[in-house]
Amino acid sequence: MKRRKSQFVVVLLCIAALLLTACNSSTKGSEDSGNSGEKKSSDEKLNIFYTNAILTAPYCAVQQKAMQKYADENNINLQSVDGKEDAQTQLDQIKNAVTQGVDGIIYFPGDQASTIPVVRYLDESGVPFIVLNSKVDESVEELVPSYVGSDYEAMGEIAGEIAADILGEEGGNIAIINGLLGTEVQLSTYEGFQKIISQNPKIKILAEQAADWDTAKAMTVMEDYLTTFGDEIDLVFAMDSGMTKGAASAMQDAGVYGDIPVVTSDQGQFVLDAIAAGDIKGTAKQDPQEEGELALQTLVRLIHGEEVEKWVKLPTEIIDKENVDQFVGY
C-alpha cells in the first residue's frame, strides 16, 4: 500500500513539473514578443508627431521646412502642428496623437511655467519624446529624456559682449525688443545679455517691450521707441532676426537705420546681409535647420532604444563682419 502511494505521489510531482515548465515557456514567449514590439527596426517607417508653440515664427517656419525635408529623405512620416502659443492646445494635440498611435513626439513648448502638465502627460504616455528649442520648467526637467537646443544664456552673453564693445567705457542707453515673455529662450537670452552689460554701470536699459518673435510687432515697438525716446537710444538689442528686421524697417522709415547700432541673436539671412553691409554690428550663431535635423536624429535614436544625451547642444559663436561670409542664413 505504501509503495502504491509513493508511486502516485511521484506521478503527481511529474505532472506538476510538466505544467510549470509549459507555463514558464508560454510566459517567456509572451514577454519576448512584447519586448520585441517596443522597438522598431531601423528600416521601418516611423510616425513622428511634432507640436510647436510658435510654428509660424520666421525661425520656426524655416526649421519645420528643414525637418520635413529630412523626414522625407529618411523614411519618416512627420506630422507638424501649430500649438498657437497655448499649452492646453498643445496638450490636447499630444493626447490626440498618442490615442491615434505614434512612434515618437517632438515638443517645442511656449512659456516654461505651462510645460508642467504637458511633460507629465508625455512621461506617463510611454511614447518616446524629446523637447526642442526651449527648456521646460525645472520641476519636470528630469522627466525629459533629451533636450535639443541652444545655450541661450551663452548666446545672450555674445550679444552682450558685442553691445558692450560698441558702447565702450562711456556706456549708453539700450532699447530691448524681447521675444515671447516667459519662454526659456527669452529668459536665458536676457539673463546672458544682462550679465555682460551690467559689468559697466554706465550702460542703462532705457526701455524693453516684447514683440513675441513677430516681425510686424517688432516694427511697432521700434516705432514707439523712436517716437518716445528719439536720440536717447544709443543701441538696440532685438532677440532674433525676424524682430530685427521689423526694427530695421521702423528705423529705415525714420531715416536712422545704420545710425543706431543694432545687435541681435541668431542668423537669419537678413541679419547676415546687414552685418556684411555694416548696418548691424553682430549676432550669435543659431541655425534652425541644424537644430531641427538634430531633433529628428535624436528622437529616432531614442525610439530605437539607443542612449541619447540629456542636452544636445546646438553650437554657437559670434558672427560679425570679420566672419559673416562663413555662414548661411535662413
Hey, CA dihedral for 109, 113, 118, 119, is it positive or negative? positive
Is residue 58 within 8 Å of residue 50, measured between CB atoms? no
* pLDDT at residue 43 in the model: 78
Q: Rounded to the nearest 5 degrees, what angle is found at the Cα of 36, between the Cα atoms of 31 and 38?
A: 100
* Residue 64, all three cell numbers: 519645420
Contacts of 282 by beta carbon, 8 Å cutoff, 6+ apart: 158, 159, 162, 263, 275, 318, 319, 320, 321
Hey, CA dihedral for 249, 253, 257, 262, is it positive or negative? negative
DSSP state letters, 184-223: HHHHHHHHHHHHHHTTSTTEEEEEEEE-TT-HHHHHHHHH
β-sheet bridge partners, residue 237: 176, 263
* pLDDT at residue 39 in the model: 61
Question: pLDDT of the chain along its 330 residues, tens only?
Answer: 444 444 444 444 444 444 444 444 333 333 332 323 356 666 789 999 999 999 988 889 999 999 999 999 999 999 999 999 999 999 999 999 999 999 999 999 998 999 999 999 999 999 999 999 999 999 999 999 999 999 999 999 999 999 999 999 999 999 999 999 998 899 999 999 999 999 999 999 999 999 999 999 999 999 999 999 999 999 999 999 999 999 999 999 999 999 999 999 999 999 999 999 999 999 999 999 999 999 999 999 999 999 999 999 999 999 999 999 999 888
Q: Rounded to the nearest 5 degrees, what angle is found at the Cα of 289, between the Cα atoms of 287 and 292?
A: 110
* pLDDT at residue 4 in the model: 44
> Which domains, from first to last, does the chain contain?
46-151+288-316 (3.40.50.2300), 152-286+321-325 (3.40.50.2300)
pTM: 0.80
Burial (Cβ within 10 Å: 0-12, 13-18, ≥19) of residue 138: exposed
